Amino acid sequence: MFAKQYTAQEMMAVACAKEIINHDVVFVGIGIPMMAGLIASKTHAPQSTLVYEAGGVGAISRRMPWTISDNPTSENGLLAMEMWRIFSDTQRGLINKGIIGGAQVDKYGNLNTTAIMGGKATYDTPLVRLPGSGGANDIASSCPETIIMMKLVKGKFVEKVDHITSPGYLTGAGAREKAGLKGRGPIALVCDKCVLRFDAQTKEMYLHTIFLNTTVEEVKSFFDWDLKVSDKLAVMDPPLESEIDLIHKYDPNGVILGSKSGGRQETFDSFYESMKACYNSVDLNLTEYDEY
């Protein structure tokens, strides 16, 4: 049954989860990508494996990790490896799908998380200095497929990024291959109002699916170029009640998806009680690895 109430962030997590299929090995980051991976692994893709940057592989945990090295990233997991080995396996193509984000993205799926120039600013003296790549460049360069997750915000969807931190299709068809990148590039960009994909020939981004109560004109207003729209534009169904229940079980305090106000004060006792309730409500089902 479809959920009657859900947030844009929850819809975004569910939409991204649909991009994960059974037996995928998925490099997930902290936040909504992690929730998307969990939803997939607990619903339609039970044999998918989640990989975390600090080395956790295939964890089956009772709560959401809050950092890349939080205990749940390896709880009941298949492996707990060094970070360098995780990225080595990424470069070898053993992790077939990665989820990444950025502060800017352009029509070819190139991401900028390094610097916003703005006007006459330069790389050395940018308008805004950003945290940089982390592991995103490795994922974007080497994973066979990547999924981009970004909220639709005016000014973030630009015709050409100020700096390429993580490569998409660079300048278009054939550019990744010419640059020697092993990964095939992004397969989708999941927003809070739609899902975008990339043309098989030109590699340019286009609108593929919109969410309920969203219009094409509304989506296009966020883009600095004339976004193309699929001739077979789809409308995505709302999340299932079971998917929303799963999100609330694993993130009862809204830490990941921000369902609670950041300004709300919470005592340690109330936090502790909510964590106990989370642990008691989640069935680990450790037989999930029986088929491995």
Amino acid at the residue 132? G
Segment 41-99, tens digit of pLDDT: 999 999 999 999 999 999 988 888 888 888 889 999 999 999 999 999 999 999 999 99
Amino acid 280: pLDDT: 66
Find the Cα–Cα–Cα–Cα dihedral 3, 24, 33, 82, rounded to 10°. 150
53 counts as catalytic: yes
162, 111 contact by CB (below 8 A) = no
28, 57 contact by CB (below 8 A) = no
Amino acid 289: pLDDT: 47
Amino acid 256: pLDDT: 80
180, 129 contact by CB (below 8 A) = no
Instruction: Report d(CA 48, CA 183) in Å as an integer.
Output: 19
| Residue whose pair of structure tokens reads 């947030």 in the numeric block | 7
Structural tokens at position 220: 């296009």
Which residue out of 10, 53, 82, 288 is catalytically annotated? 53
Amino acid 281: pLDDT: 64
The CATH code of the domain that includes 127 is 3.40.1080.10
Assess if residue 87 is contained within a domain. Answer: yes
Assess if residue 93 is contained within a domain. Answer: yes
80, 56 contact by CB (below 8 A) = yes
Residue 140, helix vs strand vs coil: helix
Range of the structural domain that residue 232 is part of: 8-289
* Below-50 pLDDT ranges, the chain: 260-263, 289, 291-292
Structural tokens at position 156: 């973030």
Amino acid at the residue 236? M
180, 49 contact by CB (below 8 A) = no
Assess if residue 176 is contained within a domain. Answer: yes
Amino acid 284: pLDDT: 64
Amino acid 260: pLDDT: 46
* CA 213 to centroid of chain Cα atoms: 23
Amino acid 30: pLDDT: 79
How many domains in the chain?
Answer: 1
Assess if residue 103 is contained within a domain. Answer: yes
Assess if residue 3 is contained within a domain. Answer: no
Amino acid 62: pLDDT: 80
The crossing angle, in degrees rounded to 10, of helices 8-17 and 32-42 is 50
Q: What share of the chain is helix, strand, coil (3-state, %, to 5)?
A: 25, 20, 55
The DSSP bridge partners found for residue 176 are none
Assess if residue 2 is contained within a domain. Answer: no
